[in-house]
Amino acid sequence: MSATLPAPRGARRNASVLLRPAAKPLLFVASLLPLAWLLYGALANTLGANPAEALIRATGDWTLRFLCLTLAVTPLRQWTGQPALLRFRRMLGLFTFFYGVLHFLCYAWLDMGFDLAEITRDIPKRPFALVGFAALLLMAPLAATSFNRAIRALGAKRWQALHRLVYAVALLAILHFFWMRSAKHNYAEVAVYAAILAVLLGWRLVAHLRRRPVAAG
């Protein structure tokens, strides 16, 4: 008979912080800070020589950052022994979609003037735009089914299967970023995000392969 070892004091203290009622509101406010900074920059005219391009790029960057944070929750939960981290995954995922929608709206407004006919012609003829738009479309059902009622309606297995679309979103997002930066042969940031996503997706692949023999048995 094995005894359950108590969690280290540091881990218990961190769990206590993560479980505090204020933790989620603080994360919500922190997630809005990039938007607040961009709005301030637009109003104060501090976004540089091309504010439209700065807004489009910044909202795209923040979409990728929140996507990385969302995908990092599960491995971090295991590495740190902090199940309480799962409390924040849904909010981070929704902010990924939020900044993705802002990225698209900035393009539709600042590049296309909300001309729907021009947008529908422009997206298919530019591969990087088409890939980015596909990633946004794949995120829509994930955001729409992030709520408890949707999870109950779909059932846990179907909900999990649907939300594996996030892996396709990650691949499309990094391809979109690569294609966009390839015009100027600027790959440094692309390499950083690609490495982070490779680690996060690779960890899941290894975890899946380790579970297979157990599942088969």
Indicate whether 3 pLDDT > 60: no
Give the pLDDT of residue 185. 84
Read off the pTM. 0.89
Per-residue pLDDT at 12 exceeds 80:
no
Q: What is the pLDDT at residue 14?
A: 65
Burial 168-179 (b: 16+ CB within 10 A, else e): ebbebbbbbbbb
In this model, does residue 215 exceed pLDDT 90? no
Mean of pLDDT values over 35-53: 96
Per-residue model confidence as pLDDT tens digits over 133-177: 999 999 999 999 999 999 999 999 999 999 999 999 999 999 999
Q: How confident is the model at residue 4 (pLDDT cuts 50, 70, 90)?
A: very low
The tokens for 75 are: 């491995």
Q: What DSSP assignment string belongs to the chain?
A: -PPPPPPPHHHHHHHHHHTSTTHHHHHHHHHHHHHHHHHHHHHHT-S-S-HHHHHHHHHHHHHHHHHHHHHHHHHHHHHHT-GGGGGGHHHHHHHHHHHHHHHHHHIIIIITTT-HHHHHHHHHHSHHHHHHHHHHHHHHHHHHT-SHHHHHHH-HHHHHHHHTHHHHHHHHHHHHHHHHHHTTT--HHHHHHHHHHHHHHHHHHHHHHHHHHHHH-
Query: pLDDT-based confidence at 2, cuts 50/70/90?
Result: very low
